[in-house]
Amino acid sequence: MVAQADSEFLFEKVALIGVGLIGSSLARAFRSRRIVRQISVSARSQATLDRVLELGLAESAHSDPVKAVEGADLVILCAPVGTYDSIASVIGPHLKPGVIVTDVGSVKQAVIRDVDQYLPDGVHFVPGHPIAGTEKSGPDAGFAELFDGRWCILTPPPGADHRAVEAVTELWRRCGSMVEIMEAGHHDKVLAITSHLPHLIAYTIVGTATDLEESERAEVVKFSAGGFRDFTRIAGSDPVMWRDVFLNNREAVLEMLQRFSEDITVLQRAIRWGEGDTLENLFFRTREIRQGVVEAHQAGSFDPREPKADQ
């Protein structure tokens, strides 16, 4: 399962199924930090496979995921979560005994539902979710430092092999992450408010702007202030990935969206009736939350290859 204690590598062979931002960042981290001896990848596009080899991200690249997982000690699903069911059904019979299967999806209950059913006895499943990313995608978007100082949440199902959980934990630590173990349903509710709802709001605000009359839309782009720019950055994320996130975490997202709608109604009334104290109290409370995020060093990740927004 894991490389011998006298080896500097944690795993002998890792298969990455999907090689977008997260997958390519993992490949780079595995390379630069000597975590894995050999990497194989699978992707649907031949252009992506060719680019992976050009970038030196893997020893082998395959359109067939079965070939990618052959002999692998660890398999990481890095594709959109809506594809997990079909991928797991294909690779399940070809996984060697003792292999660990994990993933990077932003929802966890649906992942356990879709993947676990296809894994044979002797295969260990440790779902995971790195809380890191940018709005970019594709094999060129990745960078090894993406996970530095970021949380990775693991949601092993009941009865998961503790050695497999420890191995995946160590993998993420070597990639630079802090690791938290969490129940899958709790994860989905937490991420619904911290990640999924903000993305939904960003898509909506940017969509509203694009529906303005042409002259107004041009001015929205021309005079974009920091807040709107942040929304456009979030709304520039992978559409397929986020479609699958919302469809696979619908209950938690709808619950948080209902709470948000109720709060918006309160603010709407406060603005309409000039209730300045209501607005000011909210703004003070939210500023304190922001300060907490900054102090926890979770204020945002950036691609070190590019200048920061204020440069």
Do 219 and 235 have their domain in common? Answer: yes
DSSP characters for 246-278?
HHHSHHHHHHHHHHHHHHHHHHHHHHHTT-HHH
Task: Write out the two tokens for 151.
Answer: 């949380």
Contact 123, 99 (CB under 8 A): yes
Contact 35, 12 (CB under 8 A): no
CATH number of the domain at 262, please.
Answer: 1.10.3660.10
* Whole-structure pTM value: 0.85
Which of these ranges, 16-20, 72-76, 146-150, 294-298, has the smallest mean pLDDT? Answer: 294-298
Model confidence pLDDT, tens digit, residues 223-265: 766 677 788 888 888 888 889 999 999 999 999 999 999 999 9
Do 18 and 65 have their domain in common? Answer: yes
Q: Which of 34, 170, 48, 164 has the alpha carbon at shortest distance from 97? A: 164
Percent of all residues in the chain with a pLDDT value above 70, rounded to a whole number: 91
Spacing of C-alpha 158 from chain mean position: 23
Do 271 and 167 have their domain in common? Answer: no
Do 24 and 81 have their domain in common? Answer: yes
Using the 3D structure, point to which of 125, 159, 182 is the last residue of a domain: 182
